[in-house]
Chains A and B, each alone.
Chain A
Amino acid sequence: MSGALLSVQRIGERMIRGSCRRFPADVAADRYREWSAELSAILDDASLRSPFLRALRALAFCAGIARTTRQLSRPARAGARSGKNGQWRTGAPRTRPASMAVRVAVGLAAWLAVAGLVIAMTRLTAGPHPDVWPLLLVVPLGIGFDAYCLRDIVRAADVRYLRKWAWALVCLAQMPLGGILYLAIGRIDPAQPAPPGTPS
């Protein structure tokens, strides 16, 4: 195996190990052994001539393993939580979701507050500024988006690849990008449909 494939193997093993963290320790060790062995079988697959294809398939395999562990650990987690409130990590009783009108009103109020703050800040620092309007749109949107991501991280039962605090740090450090990255790869969608082949 060439050096590049070895590093793919190392990356893949890390991904698998991270995925297996969802299981209890003994299951995790067993599954890690199984899947890392399959990973090296993929990277050694002589029927695929191109090493690039093998690497691609190996990474796709690891992504599938992440999905697998999420699906397999879900029933266990749901059992540990209580009833319909299972979606919240703390198991605290969930209040009824606010109606759309209330949400829009709260959003508008928050936007006005942040906009006022932005106007005040620019007045203080740069005097009356004619070009403050783009900021009024972008800053509240950025803050809102970050707040959404942070709320999602705090409430998620589990996140992928990194620890929760690490994802929160990423979101805060790279204002729009970190949040986008989290939503794209770190987020585990609780509303994901049941896997195919689910016994009915």
Chain B
Amino acid sequence: MKLTAPLERVLRVLVADPAAPHYGYDLMKAARLPSGTLYPMLARLQQEGLVDSQWEDQRPDAGGRPPRKYYRLTAEGARVARLELARAATTAGGTRHVAAWPVPGAQGSTL
């Protein structure tokens, strides 16, 4: 897996809260990526078994809204993501500048 800048941003958001459900639109906003970049990436991560997706349970307060699909890192995915992000942080230059990108919720991560 080659860690590109967009992929790094997505992994950062996912790793920041691995247990939380991440909806596509929220991931787009948090990682600041267009849908045309995010979804192919999610599909690829899912194919590699690093991410899995699930339909949310229909809440009674949804007001007729259709259920959404959310994405989460698998255990293997969390391991690989932490490893890749740590590696990116230690290599000088490259995607280093992306670390300064303001990702909501990523502040507390130890990466």
Contact = CB atoms under 8 A, between A and B. Distances in A.
Given A38-B23, A60-B34, A68-B35, A197 B6 contact: yes
Interface stretch (A39-47, A167-175, A179-187): A39-47
B25 interface: yes
B68 A198 contact: no
B44 A40 contact: no
B69 interface: yes
B108 interface: no
Contact of A199 (B6, B25, B39, B48): B48
Interface in B1-36: 1-2, 4-7, 10, 23-25, 28, 34-36
A65 B39 CA distance: 8
Contact of A33 (B10, B34, B38, B66): B66
B48 A196 contact: no
B1 to A, nearest CB: 5
A61 B28 CA distance: 10
Given A41-B25, A197-B6, A199-B2, A68 B66 contact: no
B43 interface: yes
Interface in B60-80: 65-69
A91 interface: no
A200 interface: yes
Interface residues of A, number: 27
Contact of B25 (A33, A42, A195): A42
A37 B25 CA distance: 10
If over half of B's interface residues share one DSSP class (helix, strand or loop), that class is named, otherwise mixed; here it is helix
A67 interface: yes
Nearest to A67: B36
Contacts of B69: 33-34, 37
Contact of A61 (B35, B41, B65): B35
Interface string A36-71: 111011101100000000000000110111111001
A71 B36 CA distance: 9
Given A38-B24, A41-B23, A41-B25, A197 B66 contact: no
B40 interface: yes
Interface of B: 1-2, 4-7, 10, 23-25, 28, 34-41, 43-44, 48, 65-69
Given A64-B38, A195-B36, A197-B10, 4 more contacts: A38-B25, A64-B37, A65-B35, A68-B43
23 contacts: A37-B66, A38-B24, A40-B66, A41-B25, A45-B25, A61-B28, A61-B35, A63-B35, A63-B36, A64-B35, A64-B37, A68-B36, A71-B36, A72-B39, A72-B40, A195-B40, A196-B4, A196-B37, A197-B2, A197-B4, A197-B44, A198-B4, A199-B48
